[in-house]
Amino acid sequence: MSGAGNPMTSLWDAMPPALTPTTPRVIVKVIRGLIHRGELSPGDRLPPERALADQLGVARVSLRDALAQLQHEGYLAARRGAHGGTFVTGLAEPRRRWLRRMQENPGDLEDIIDYRTAIEAHAARLAARRRNHADLPAIEQAVRWRPGADSARSFRAADSAFHRAIAAAARSPRLEAAIDEARGLLFLPADALAYPPGTDRSLGDHQGIAAAVRDGDGDRAAAAMRAHIESTRDSLRHALTTPPGTRPTPGGTRPTPGSTRPIPGGTRPTPGGTPPTAHPLPSPALPTPHS
């Protein structure tokens, strides 16, 4: 997964100790958001409990309660044995619940996208004004994504990396946290955007935003980000209103929400095989005290 192998700083380093949120509810929200944004994918193995608690800067008992809740919700599964650990599931049931909730409450989706449009367009404007040369490589790397054997999974990771790089370049920790939160409220059903022509359009949008940020053109960056998120709105509306199994894909049938498909990347342990690597979690943006 993206960022594997990099040391993770505590999530709460920049907060006053009295305001540090370490409750299981907040930990659940953080890890669920990482999964929804595609920064943790099906088959990914979480670090051992002690290491993960240290990375998150939380008590092990709070982490244990949070992991149990995520297992109950169908996001994680614990496996015993030499190749055991805590793994992200295939996410079929969480996806079904998310789809059903959005279909029953379409105003929620519109509200989330409105929120994203407001904060991410402003972040793009600030990024164009405040970015420095150290910010550009992360942005450029994300827009250089190309389809491969694991396209849906890798596209979601690259998409998340791009939006996080723009948010980081805005130099506003609270705005960055708000963007992480808003993007975590979405849960792309069956990777609805990660296939042509959706990928081509999204990559083109990313390139336009990146060029505006690189050129220091805040108005152009904000307009490009606004148009990009509006195209996401259209794609998600289509995903929610089209009957399952009827969306064509070049070269075959797209998986429908909740369908069974192989876990990409070979991260599931196999008997007698090499134990899977536990990935350090990506470092989410700082939660605000009202989280």
Mean pLDDT of 209-236: 95
Instruction: Band the pLDDT of 278: cuts 50, 70, 90.
Output: low
What is the C-alpha to C-alpha distance for residues 50 and 61, in angstroms, rounded to an integer?
Answer: 10
pLDDT on residue 199? 78
Q: pLDDT tens digits, residue range 244-276?
A: 555 444 333 333 333 333 333 333 444 444 555
Is residue 144 pLDDT above 70, yes or no? yes
Closest CA to 247 of 185, 198, 203, 202: 198
The reported pTM is 0.73
> What sign does the dihedral 243-249-253-256 (CA atoms) show?
negative
29: its two tokens: 């929200």
Instruction: Band the pLDDT of 112: cuts 50, 70, 90.
Output: very high
Higher pLDDT, 279 or 90: 90
22: its two tokens: 């370490």
Structural domains for the chain? 17-90 (1.10.10.10), 93-253 (1.20.120.530)
Is residue 77 pLDDT above 90, yes or no? yes
Q: pLDDT tens digits, residue range 42-67?
A: 999 999 999 999 888 889 999 999 99
